[in-house]
Each structure stands twice: as C-alpha cells, then as structure tokens.
Amino acid sequence: MALFSLVLIPFVISTDIASACQNTDDFVGASSPGDIVIGGLFAVHSEMLHPEEHPIKPVIQNCAGFEIQIFLQTLAMIHAIEMINNSTLLSGVTLGYEIYDTCAEVTKAMASALRFLSKSNTSKDIVEFKCNYSDYVPRIKAVTGASYSEVSMAVSRLLALQLIPQVSPASSAEILSDKIRFPSFLRTIPSDFHQTRAMSHLIWESGWNWIGVIATDDDNGRFALESFGVQAMANSVCIAFKEMLPAYLSDNTFHTKVDRAIEKIVKETRVNVIVVFMRQFHVLKLFKKAIERNVKKIWIASDNWSTAVKISTMPNIRKLGTVVGFGFKNKDISTFQDFLRNLHEKPTENNKFLREYIMLLSVCAHLDNYDFQMCISGQSQYDLMQNVENKHQIWRDDFLNANIEPGFIHSTILAVYAIAHAIKGQCKDRNCKDPSAFTPWELLEELKKVTIIDDDKEIKFDSKGDMSTGYDVLLWKEVDGRMEITTMAEYDPENGYFIFEDEEKKKEFLDLKKVPSTCSQHCRPGQMKKVTESPHTCCYECVYCPENHYSNRTGKEL
C-alpha cells in the first residue's frame, strides 16, 4: 500500500477593494492604533446602493440612509475603549480599533470580516489558507458587532475559521446560541427565545388569542417568527395572519408588500394586536402607511425598534394606537452622555462616520425635529459630497443625546469591557505589547470565563454564549403632547414573570386588557365551545349544553 503525505502550500487571498474605496484603508469607517486592535461591525447606513449598469461588477458600493442610533453605538464602542485606555484595567497595554460599516448588507460585512482575517504586521492585506490556524495572528483579536442577526450569522461562520471571538450587542436570533454552528459567537443580550416567550406571556395574560405578526423576510425575522409561533402555541394564542416584508428597501416589491400588509390588518377587524419583528427603517415605512389608513391597534414591538426615537417622534404617531415593547435592560450611561456633549471637540481625521455626521448637520441645519431626523437618514454618501459646499453648520448639542437607545448603548459598552477583561486575563504573564503574545482562539477561551460587575451585579456568558440580562417592558404614552417611551415593568427571563415597580404601572398593564383581540367570544356558563371548520382552535361557536349536561365556568370545550 502506498503512503501519501500532504504538504500544504499557503494560498494567499488579496483583499484589494476598489470603487467607493481606493484602498483597504479607505474602507475603514473609524480607527485608532493600539497594542491590541478590536474590530467593529455596525450598520451605520441602512442600505447599500446597487448599481443599475450591466454587467454588475464586484466592487464595494456607496451607501445611503445614515442611522443615528447605530452611529451612536460606534461612538459607545470608541468611548468604552477610551475609558479602558485611561484606566488601570490593562496596565499600560492600549486598545485600538477598526470599525467598519456593514450598510445592513451581508456582502459588505463579509468584505470587512475578510480584512479582519488578514495577517498581522504585513504590508498587504492577505489571508493565508491553512489547515491549522493555531499560531496564526490576524490583524484584530476580537470583533464587536454586528448590528443585525442575519449579518452576524454570515460573519460568524467566517470568523469561526480562526475562532476569532465575536461579541454582539444587538444580534438576538435564537440560532446564534448554537455553539456547534457558531462556536466563536457571544452576545451581551439575551437570545430571542426569552423575548418571544415574554411576548407570548404578555399576550396570554392580557386575554388576547387572535393576533397578527409582521416580520422582515430575512434570517432574523424568520427565526423570530418561528420561535414566537412555538411560544404562542404553548400559550394557546393563535396567529391569524403572518406578513413578511423584503429585507432590503431597494427591493422593488417592498412598497407593494407594505400595502398588502396594511390591507390585511384593515380586513382582519377582530385582530387588534400586531406583533412586529422588523428593523427600524421597515417600521417607519409600515407606520407611515398605517397612519394614512387610520389604522389603530396595539403594536407589540421587538427589541429592534422598541426604543426608536425616530419612530416615536413620527407625526401623528399617537393615532396608531398603543405601542408596547421589549427593550434590553439599561444601566447608568451618564459618562457616555458627557462624551457626546464634548464630541464637537474630537478630531475627525480617522472617523468617517463623525465627518459624515458633521456634513449632515450642515445639509439639514434648516430643519427641525422629525424633519431633521428624516433629512439625516435620507442622504446618500454620494449626494452628501455634492451638496455640502457653502452650507452653514449648526452643532446640535442635544440631538445625539435625545436619540440614545440606552439598552443598545449599554450592551455595546458591556461587549467592549467583556473583551477587555478577557485580554487582561491573557496578559497576566505575557508582554501584550507584542501582537503575537496570544491568539484569538486563546482569547475566546478566556472570554467564556469572564465575570463582569455591572451595577453591583455579577454577569457572565452562559454555556451558549448569551448574557441573560433581562428586558424592560416599555409603554409608549403621550405626555404633554409628545410621545414618551416609559418603562412599565421588568421581565425576568429566568423565572418567566413580570415585575411591576408600583400599582400605577400595574394599572397601565391592566388597561391594555380592555382592548379585545379574540377570534371568538368566551362561552358563558351553560354554553360549550364547538370548533368550526377554521384550522385555528381559537375560532369556535358557543352552543348550549345538551340536556342533562351543564357547564359552570367560561371557556368549556365540547
């Protein structure tokens, strides 16, 4: 029998990125040098502009739709790194960062991830193909992000090749808890399993059993819908209809499908509760149409948009009915708020996001409140460069602070600190000013063991890489003519119940129950349920009990 030996010759991939960026350094959104560099992936823009010419070439395109809330998350990452570098946590070792814009597109995020995999300390961005990456030193040690689960799933599969730890402050899809498929993924938020269970509990306790669901047609939306369906069934809640909207705003069927979803809501008059698993810019489009059609319902908001100021400040938003949402737990972020107040003093040379924001302030300066917000999110990078000349810039001190979504800011800062604590563990007996002092996979093992003190409470990653930090149950209510996002209760994911701060908050919850959302009325004593031809068990007729039989309570089945 002949014996063969395999000799591996490294295969080199060059990541030369053209078009919108002339070289790979142009591709970076914000950066700062350091002994140890952390990558960041955030959807600072809501869409990538797709070329109209044919054939389509494989180049990185410009983006549109500046997302203030996610821009704030990049600033939270930078703030956390500056705080760590100014503390004694890492004893003289400095953290650097490279933050990239995914434009909410998997393809663009993969390009960034490919650069993360490139070899450290080389003049060119090259990725070596090897059978064993145990001693391989890439340009970054860990990644914070991505913003959306669909992007995180794709990126995590690539980062898993070298077991580079990825800590997301926002990607909540339940599937990401699978450590066989996503071995290097962790997050500083709970998985959607807890959120969908909390939603179904809220719906069941409110006496609703006939509801509608609208979701984004991407991995995150589909997995959330599947998880919610299982939880709803367990709580005897029936889904009257499900509508899926295209993941990308550039999809030419988007507006048609929004119209179809609104028609469905209008037609199903017995459905007064709608669960919405969507990205913020999708919700804006949906609600704009709903306001035009005078739709008034109870909307159950997922963590993606439950704290979105740009939605809560929409004109006539109060006409939509009531919004009840689930948001990530937040803690004191006053140091970040101070950071924002001094942002105008920060240099912009190495932060394209900040430069773009300043240009947007100039272009949109003449507008107020909601129109200003919409102007900022409506500019493309290309148009901005054409129109910014001779505009007067007004620095709006309070605008960024007014648009903070505290849960996301807290989870972003938490992600950076978790990575920093893991680095501290690796640097105990090593010279970490040397980039090859430890590898990403060693950092991953340390990260799994990290315990952080957060607001006097110990928190750590569980065996699935999740942090079960709980949820705030949010109620949007009108106060002095404007919509405020208030906390109604806290949801404990471990025990599965709601905790109300006081009786007034509990009364707000009880008031929600006054709105019915059922397929059939409850059967009275002396009556029994007779299931109709509907496939839903929530739909039935009430018939009187036959002779010599009786029922002495409501809801008795035949």
The reply to whether 32 and 152 lie within a common domain is yes
Which one-letter DSSP state was computed for residue 93? P
Residue 445 is assigned to a structural domain of this protein: no
**What CATH number corresponds to the domain at position 492?**
3.40.50.2300
Q: Which domain holds residue 553?
A: 522-558
The reply to whether 24 and 98 lie within a common domain is yes
User: How many domains, in total, are found in the chain?
Assistant: 4
Alpha helices in 214-301, H assignment, sequence order: 219-234, 254-267, 280-292
Which among 159, 161, 147 is positioned nearest to 218, based on CA atoms?
A: 147
The reply to whether 65 and 146 lie within a common domain is yes
Residue 487 CA to residue 514 CA, distance in Å, equals 20
The reply to whether 66 and 155 lie within a common domain is yes
Structure tokens at 301: 């908001």
CB 220 within 8 A of CB 277: yes
The reply to whether 171 and 271 lie within a common domain is no
Give 173: exposed, middle or buried? Use CB within 10 Å, 0-12, 13-18, 19+.
buried
In this prediction, residue 17 carries a pLDDT of 33
Residue 31 CA to residue 353 CA, distance in Å, equals 11
The reply to whether 270 and 383 lie within a common domain is no
The reply to whether 226 and 302 lie within a common domain is yes
User: Could you tell me the CA-to-CA distances from 168 to 42, 302, 335, 464, 470 in Å, in that order?
Assistant: 10, 17, 21, 13, 16
Residue 10 is assigned to a structural domain of this protein: no
Q: Which residues of 458-486 are buried (b: 16+ CB within 10 A; e: fewer)?
A: ebebeebbbbbbbbbbbbbeeeeeebebe
The reply to whether 186 and 206 lie within a common domain is no
The reply to whether 173 and 34 lie within a common domain is yes
In this prediction, residue 251 carries a pLDDT of 84
In this prediction, residue 79 carries a pLDDT of 98
The reply to whether 187 and 197 lie within a common domain is no
Residue 448 is assigned to a structural domain of this protein: no
The reply to whether 301 and 393 lie within a common domain is no
Residue 209 is assigned to a structural domain of this protein: yes
Cβ partners under 8 Å of residue 435, min gap 6: 35, 36, 120, 121, 137
Residue 444 is assigned to a structural domain of this protein: no
pLDDT digits (tens, 9 = 90+) for 453-488: 888 889 999 999 999 888 999 999 999 888 999 999
Residue 4 is assigned to a structural domain of this protein: no
pTM score = 0.90
Residue 463 is assigned to a structural domain of this protein: no
Structure tokens at 158: 């690539």
Q: Tens-of-pLDDT digits for all 558 residues of the chain?
A: 444 434 444 444 433 333 345 566 678 999 999 999 999 999 999 988 877 766 778 888 888 889 999 999 999 999 999 999 999 999 889 999 999 999 999 999 999 999 999 988 776 788 888 899 999 999 999 999 999 999 999 999 999 999 999 999 999 999 999 999 999 999 999 999 999 999 999 999 999 999 999 999 988 899 999 999 999 999 989 999 999 999 887 788 999 999 999 999 999 999 999 999 999 989 999 999 999 999 999 999 999 999 999 999 999 999 999 999 999 988 889 999 999 999 988 989 999 999 999 888 888 877 766 787 888 887 665 555 555 444 445 566 688 998 999 999 999 999 999 999 999 999 998 999 998 999 999 999 999 999 998 888 899 999 999 998 889 999 999 998 889 999 999 998 878 889 998 899 999 999 999 999 999 887 888 778 777 656 778 888 888 888 666 555 554 444
Structure tokens at 236: 């005897």
Which among 97, 79, 81 is positioned nearest to 89, based on CA atoms?
A: 81
The reply to whether 31 and 178 lie within a common domain is yes
In this prediction, residue 337 carries a pLDDT of 95
Residue 477 is assigned to a structural domain of this protein: yes
